């Protein structure tokens, strides 16, 4: 029977279902970041939604609330070298696996956004569009996106000229033009076509 929400009732989840999501599969630069969140049924959070449809200000507000109210949350990541070695899909699954492994509260079940499951120490279910339908996945989406966006802003100061603070590494026209002008940096994914073409 499908779940109606990750914390719809105390009996169903008992605070032991975690939501899992990742951010950063599409960019040409930077890591892929995943988050796992176990929400507290006794402290509901209003307004949880897919991080992509929220304003930056609202994401930041919900990020702080999730960090404060969740029973547990954890981050996992895969670096650029890992992405180029094992491919972005496997790196995304690895980041999610690391996020779940880092939880201080061991989950009994995981709800994972998408159609593929990482190897986890508990039962799991993949849900396409889960970041819009499952509150615990929405929370994970928000934690992952805010974390990665902040990191890309910091990387913009170390690698100026690419516009990382604005596009967060995604393949915008500005980013591709900057790559052609400045060359490929160490934080760029060399196996991604726009970057690979410049190297070749």
CATH code at position 32: 3.30.420.10
DSSP character at residue 192: S
Flag whether 16 is in a domain. yes
1 band by pLDDT with thresholds 50, 70 and 90: very low
Six token digits for residue 158: 């170390």
Flag whether 76 is in a domain. yes
Does 11 score more than 70 pLDDT?
no
200 band by pLDDT with thresholds 50, 70 and 90: confident
63 band by pLDDT with thresholds 50, 70 and 90: very high
70-84 per-position pLDDT tens digit: 999 999 999 999 999
4 band by pLDDT with thresholds 50, 70 and 90: very low
Flag whether 2 is in a domain. no
Flag whether 88 is in a domain. yes
Flag whether 176 is in a domain. no
Flag whether 81 is in a domain. yes
Flag whether 20 is in a domain. yes
* Total Cβ atoms within 10 A of residue 57: 8
Q: In 3D, which of 87, 93, 73, 84 has the Cα closest to residue 147?
A: 73
Tokens 């569009």 sit at which residue?
A: 129
Structural domain of 83 = 10-159
pTM here? 0.91
Six token digits for residue 130: 């889960």
Q: How many domains does the chain have?
A: 1
Q: How far is CA 162 from CA 25, 26, 95, in A?
A: 18, 16, 25
Q: Please state, for a pLDDT cut of 70, what percent of the chain lies above it.
A: 92
Flag whether 74 is in a domain. yes
Q: How far is CA 131 from the centre of its chain?
A: 10
């Amino acid at each position: 029977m499908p779940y109606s929400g990750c914390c719809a009732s105390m009996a169903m989840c008992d605070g032991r279902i975690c939501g899992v999501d990742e951010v950063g599969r599409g960019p040409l630069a930077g890591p892929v970041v995943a988050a796992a969140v176990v929400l507290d049924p006794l402290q509901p959070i209003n307004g949880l939604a897919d991080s992509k449809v929220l304003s930056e200000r609202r994401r930041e507000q919900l990020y702080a609330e999730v960090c404060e109210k969740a029973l547990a949350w954890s981050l996992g990541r895969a670096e650029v070298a890992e992405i180029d070695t094992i491919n972005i899909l496997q790196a995304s699954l690895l980041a999610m696996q690391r996020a779940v492994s880092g939880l201080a509260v061991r989950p009994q079940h995981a709800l994972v956004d998408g159609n593929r499951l990482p190897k986890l120490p508990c039962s799991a279910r993949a849900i396409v569009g889960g970041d819009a339908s499952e509150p615990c996945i929405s929370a994970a989406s928000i934690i992952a996106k805010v974390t990665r966006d902040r990191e890309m802003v910091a990387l913009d100061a170390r690698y100026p000229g690419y516009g990382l603070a604005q596009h967060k590494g995604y393949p915008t026209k500005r980013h591709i033009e900057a790559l052609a002008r400045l060359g490929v940096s160490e934080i760029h994914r060399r196996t991604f076509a726009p970057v690979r073409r410049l190297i070749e």
